[in-house]
Amino acid sequence: MTAPDWYGRGLQHIWLPYTQMKTTPAPLAVARTHGTRIVLEDRRELIDGIASWWTAVHGYNHPHIVQAVQAQAALMPHVMLGGLVHAQALTLAARLCAILPAKLERVFFCESGSVAVEVAMKMATQYWLNRNIRGRTKFLAFQGGYHGDTIATMAVCDPDEGMHALFKGLLPEQHVIALPRDDESIAAFDAFLERHAHELAGILVEPLVQGAGGMLFHDEHVLRRLRAAADRYELLLIFDEIFTGFGRTASMFACDAPAIAPDIVTLGKALTGGAAPLAATVATAKVFDAFWSDDPAHALMHGPTFMGHALGCAAANASLDLFERENRLLQANEIAVKLTHGLGPCLALKGVRDVRVRGAIGVVELEHIGDLNALKRRLLAEGVWVRPFRNIVYLTPALTIGDDDLMRLTAAVAKVIAAVGD
């Protein structure tokens, strides 16, 4: 079948993400999606192992979400949130606060995760300024972390894997150290805070799973240590739950665990079930109170054009309905068992360094991937959509994925890794 006519013409004008446009293999033309399937223009149907960068937790085109977006589009696609509000945004704000740990009670909407993190950083910085405390403008973040691609968020990503070297001079200098997880890193963390806490606005971390930085896991006790340190030095603790939120780790949020609730949390990705771009920064009353004043200059100085987008909020409300009606967390736990079963044998393969599973995240870490494009081609030939990066092959399927599709995904990953190890 020949490519549709929009394809060749448009490829002369589109600029794709993280892509060397000169040498990249031709991107696949997608005609439509359904459930856990991606249907290509050439009629091939791929089993989706990634849920479109972890967003489509209920699978694609879930009828309840589609219907909610259609109804909202007919009523009102969008209206500015400056001076106006609408039912979808206010309903969503209240519902998010009802399911987040108790003290998180103010929601600021925007349209992408990176911006939600920027808003969190701005909130934390202005929190100190509003209280007339100067000099607390830096953040402590962690190696292996990823918080976005905008300028301020790049500066808090892992310095080696991120783009610090490339953009040196442009990025604000932040502190990025090892997560306090063993004696040595705990000592370094404590020593760091002794020296630098007074210049910090807050501590920023992806709780439990560092996603785009390498699918690295850590335990709750690391988060408890961060919470305790934040309390000791009066720092704001910010959890970036853009990846972990909405069931991915088999709890609704990583911050659901007792005694680790953050002062600010960022949400995105699966917030709308993958149907529309929407993100949120949620703050505790303690943070919000620093902005509550008769002085207009104490207002939070931010306001994205499309904040609280009605279609996005309608999709997010419908997604929360599905979490209420259907047991996604149980599904995530079941997926964990099947990922462990399906990917576990990879550990015996040549070139495999680690296999790890947490919730609906399955990771095979290789010594290295010599030819990433060749690996991607082999996965495609197996009829699956999986996007390995660096030395990581991972699966983050929709939480609704059926057993057969999940088995075909894990089998394809195991087969392809065995083949490249030969």
Ligand X SMILES: *Cc1c(COP(=O)(O)O)cnc(C)c1O
Number of neighbours of residue 44 by Cβ within 10 angstroms: 13
Active site includes 127?
no
CB of 17 to ligand X, least distance (A): 9
What mask of x and - would describe binding to ligand X in positions 244 to 283, judged by CB under 6 A? ------------------------xx--------------
For tokens 């902005």, what's the residue?
A: 291
Active site includes 146?
yes
Alpha-carbon distance of 9 to 2, in angstroms, equals 13
- Give the residue from 148, 52, 145 showing the smallest Cα distance to 396: 52
DSSP string, 333-352: HHHHHHHHHHHGGGGGSTTE
Among 147, 164, 338, 358, binds ligand X (CB under 6 A): 147
Which SS3 state, helix, strand or coil, does residue 396 take? coil
Task: Write the CB contacts of 304 (distance below 8 Å, at least 6 apart in sequence).
Answer: 109, 110, 111, 115
CB of 112 to ligand X, least distance (A): 4
CA atoms within 13 A on the CB side of 8: 4
Alpha-carbon distance of 345 to 407, in angstroms, equals 13
Q: Which is nearer to ligand X, 146 or 253 (CB)?
A: 146
Among 114, 281, 284, 410, binds ligand X (CB under 6 A): 114
Among 59, 113, 207, 362, binds ligand X (CB under 6 A): 113
Q: Which of 48, 60, 127, 240 is catalytic?
A: 240
How many chain residues interact with ligand X (CB under 6 A)? 15
Q: Using an 8 Å Cβ cutoff, are 259 and 224 in contact?
A: yes
Active site includes 182?
no
Q: Which is nearer to ligand X, 128 or 243 (CB)?
A: 243
CB of 209 to ligand X, least distance (A): 9
CB of 392 to ligand X, least distance (A): 14
Beta pairing class for 138-142 and 200-205: parallel
Q: Which is nearer to ligand X, 148 or 342 (CB)?
A: 148
365 binds ligand X (CB under 6 A): no
Q: Using an 8 Å Cβ cutoff, are 147 and 213 in contact?
A: no
Q: Using an 8 Å Cβ cutoff, are 252 and 129 in contact?
A: no
Q: Which stretch binds ligand X (CB under 6 A): 8-16, 106-114, 129-137, 166-174?
A: 106-114
Active site includes 18?
yes
62 binds ligand X (CB under 6 A): no
Distance of CA 118 to the CA centre of its chain: 14
206 binds ligand X (CB under 6 A): yes
What mask of x and - would describe binding to ligand X in positions 210 to 249, judged by CB under 6 A? -xx---------------------------x-xx------
Running DSSP on this structure, what letter comes out for residue 255? G
Q: Which residues of 175-191 are buried (b: 16+ CB within 10 A; e: fewer)?
A: bbbebbeeeebbeebee
Q: Which is nearer to ligand X, 148 or 273 (CB)?
A: 148
Backbone φ, ψ for residue 330 (5° rounding): -65, -45
List binders of ligand X among 165-184 (CB under 6 A): none
CB of 117 to ligand X, least distance (A): 5
CB of 55 to ligand X, least distance (A): 9
Q: Using an 8 Å Cβ cutoff, are 259 and 237 in contact?
A: no
Q: Which residues are catalytic?
A: 18, 146, 240, 269
Contacts with ligand X by CB under 6 A lie at 112-114, 117, 146-148, 206, 211-212, 240, 242-243, 268-269
